[in-house]
Structure 1
Amino acid sequence: MSVPTKSPGDPGKTRRSHARANRARILDAAVTAFIADPDASMDDVARSAGVVRRTVYAHFPSREALVEGIADEASAALVAAMGDEAQQPDRPDLAVAVMALRTWPIGDRFRMLLSFARRELGEQRIHDLLGVVRDRDVRVVDHGQRSGVFSSYLSPTVLVALAESMTMTLLDQANSGEVQDSGESFAVAYLAVLGLTPADGARVVDEARHWLREHPDVPKS
């Protein structure tokens, strides 16, 4: 008696893969739509994604859920961009510059969160979003203070909080076109908050760009 052979492929796996692809397409379309118009509707997002309205609602049952999905996507992208902590430079000033250059493109892509997610999700959600990198920043700044590289006029936690507020300001300025580089201004400003002169900060940022070129296996964005 012959044993029935299993048909190749896994229909369930295929459906899950298709659903993930649709979800990613919808999120990308939503980012684009909300950058163009913060009041874009779910229908606008569906048209931009090339799917029917029902597909959007299958993944995100409300506009708030869609905005939350974008925030979650931004959080995951930040984690991916940071890479493995063990792979960061040992020198704290260089580590800060590398982290700034890695994460700026993520903030730049999702900067429309500043224009409407604050209103729809609240300031606390934005604060929580940055929490995925905050602990590492605090550790690096603490190391820099203990080694004499960074100023100690404020605690590491307060300095990182200042840098986060500055990040919001710079992303707002990117929205208006005043900041147009790839994170160099952000990195120099961050290092200035930590006590480096702008000239020294610019030199460290140049080193960071070289370091990233030498470590292509480490995610940049």
Structure 2
Amino acid sequence: MSTQESPARPDSVPTRERRSDATTNHKALLHAAQAVLAENPQASLDTIAQAAGLSRRALYGHFPDRETLLKEVIALGAERFNAIADVIEDTDPRVALARLAVRLWREASAVRAAANIALSEAHVAETVRSLAPLRRRVRELSNTGIAAGVFRRDVSPEVLAILIEETARATLRQTRLDAESGPSAIARVVLSIVGLSWTEQAELIESNPDIVDQA
């Protein structure tokens, strides 16, 4: 009497392989969420799942609801933004601020997704908490720039930091800036907010071309 092998059951897939697939899908969903939310902060879970090439059911296997997904997108973006702020070490606060703004802009969809989510009152407090290191760096630059006499002095460092944050957030959300014009535009916007004239901005960028040429 011959014995036939029974078909492999789904749960016979090696645990390591299942975990690898789950990790890949999780990353795909987060990447898709960043890209989709950068264009439309009100995008549905169906739209995000479709962009990731997965089913809605698969999405729910990773995120029980839209709120959970948004929180992880905020956390992921904040982690990257804070890391960028941590490596900006220029001693000239003008160069440091311009370089910080350009590097954040180069994060593209991650920046715009976080900025769009932050527009919702329900997520403002969480975004502020998540971006504490980045915001602290901006305040440090405001203090240093004013003390050195290279930033405007008609407002306090605290107010100037707020102006920088709000202006940068609005500018970073722009999708009309391309890879060629974007870096220079972003650098000039934040430099104008801290009080540099257009000629001073041009001179600074010309003296430090790597601000806008950075990869």
Q: Once the 2 structures are TM-superposed, how far is the Cα of residue 157 of structure 1 from its aligned partner?
A: 1.8
Give the 5 Å matches for 1:42-81.
42-81=45-84
- Choose 130-139 or 204-213, whichever is displaced more: 204-213
- Deviations, residues 66-118 of structure 1 (Å, cap 9, x unaligned): 11111111101212333435xx1112211111111111223654324444553
> 2:35 and 2:27 mapped to 1: Cα distance?
12
- Choose 15-24 or 159-168, whichever is displaced more: 15-24
On the 8 A contact 1:67/1:117 being kept in 2, the answer is no
Cross-structure match for 1:187: 187
Cross-structure match for 1:210: 210
Amino acid at match of 1:80: A
- Choose 17-26 or 63-72, whichever is displaced more: 17-26
Cross-structure match for 1:164: 165
On the 8 A contact 2:117/2:123 being kept in 1, the answer is no
Q: Once the 2 structures are TM-superposed, how far is the Cα of residue 148 of structure 1 from its aligned partner?
A: 2.1
Amino acid at match of 1:118: L
> 2:123 and 2:33 mapped to 1: Cα distance?
19
> 1:211 and 1:40 mapped to 2: Cα distance?
34
Amino acid at match of 1:135: R
TM-score, structure 2 normalization: 0.76
Cross-structure match for 1:118: 119
Q: Once the 2 structures are TM-superposed, how far is the Cα of residue 65 of structure 1 from its aligned partner?
A: 0.9
TM-score, structure 1 normalization: 0.75
Identity of aligned residues (%): 27
Q: Cα gap change, 1:96/1:207 in structure 2, threshold over 3 Å: closer, same or farther?
A: farther
> 1:120 and 1:57 mapped to 2: Cα distance?
25
Cross-structure match for 2:128: 127
Query: Are residue 153 (structure 1) and residue 149 (structure 2) matched?
Result: no
Q: Cα gap change, 1:144/1:12 in structure 2, threshold over 3 Å: closer, same or farther?
A: farther
Greater CA radius of gyration, 1 or 2? 2
Cross-structure match for 2:4: none
Query: Are residue 198 (structure 1) and residue 201 (structure 2) matched?
Result: no
Q: Once the 2 structures are TM-superposed, how far is the Cα of residue 191 of structure 1 from its aligned partner?
A: 1.7
**Unpaired stretches in structure 2, ≥5 consecutive residues:** 1-13
On the 8 A contact 2:188/2:201 being kept in 1, the answer is yes
CA RMSD, aligned part only?
Answer: 2.9
